Amino acid sequence: MEHSRNASVLVQRGEALIMRYVTFNELKQGIEEAFSPSAAKAIFYHAGKRCGARAAKRIESQEGLSDKSSILESIRQLKESQGWGLFAFDISKQDRIVVKVQNSFEALSHGPSREAVCDFIRGYLSGVFSHILGKEIEFEEVECLSKGDRFCTFVSYVPGSD
């Protein structure tokens, strides 16, 4: 599926929008100011989680995919075409999932920070993997471009995989 062309068509039909990094960051800062930084982290994480689960379900049904590798590849292509960053999934270990994102849009929009800032992507990944594995999956961002790391790295330990 040609994701970048589909994104353009969706924008032209009024079913999608393009948001600049600076606009996303202003949205996040506005929520931090109105509520608190911890509330903004929770809001973006939970919104991302809902979006990730919905996207995995939509891709699974619209593209007729059933195996997790195909769903992940389709999501990788889609999110890369939308400018989210470059994604690498490591699902080779049964008890742990590692996702590396090069040039995360959240980190690039935020700038330097002492803590990890990619809460929407962290939630999105949690939603995607929760859907395709059929169990609750939570990711932690252990490295972040905003902290000076080379990549944003997300890790989840899969429950019940012992």
- By the 10 Å C-beta count (0-12 exposed, 13-18 middle, 19+ buried), 14 is classed as exposed
Q: Where in the sequence is the domain holding 124, given as residue range(s)?
A: 3-157
Read off the DSSP letter of residue 129: H
Contact assessment for residue 120 and residue 43, using Cβ atoms and an 8 Å cutoff: no
Q: For the chain, what is the domain count?
A: 1
Query: Is 124 inside any structural domain?
Result: yes
CB 111 within 8 A of CB 159: no
pLDDT value at 90 more than 60: yes
Q: What's the rounded mean pLDDT across residues 1-15? A: 67
Total H helices, total E strands in the chain: 6, 4
* pLDDT, greater one: 160 or 122: 122
- Within 13 A of 127's CA, how many CA atoms are on the CB side? 22
Cα separation values, 149 from 101, 102, 118, 122, 127, Å: 11, 10, 13, 16, 24
CA pair distance 105, 72, nearest whole angstrom: 19
Nearest residue to 98 (alpha-carbon basis) of 154, 23, 139: 154
| In the block, residue with structure tokens 């109105």 | 34
What's the CATH code of the domain at 143? 3.30.1380.20
> In the predicted model, what is the mean pLDDT of residues 137-142?
98
The whole-model pTM stands at 0.91
Residue 162 lies in a domain: no
Q: Is residue 152 part of a domain?
A: yes
List Cβ neighbours of 83 (8 Å cut-off, separation of 6 or more). Answer: 105
pLDDT at 162 over 60: no
Residue 142 is given by DSSP the state E
Report pLDDT digits (tens) over 49-59.
Answer: 999 999 999 99
Please name the helix (run of DSSP H) or strand (run of DSSP E) that holds residue 154, with its range, or none.
strand 152-157
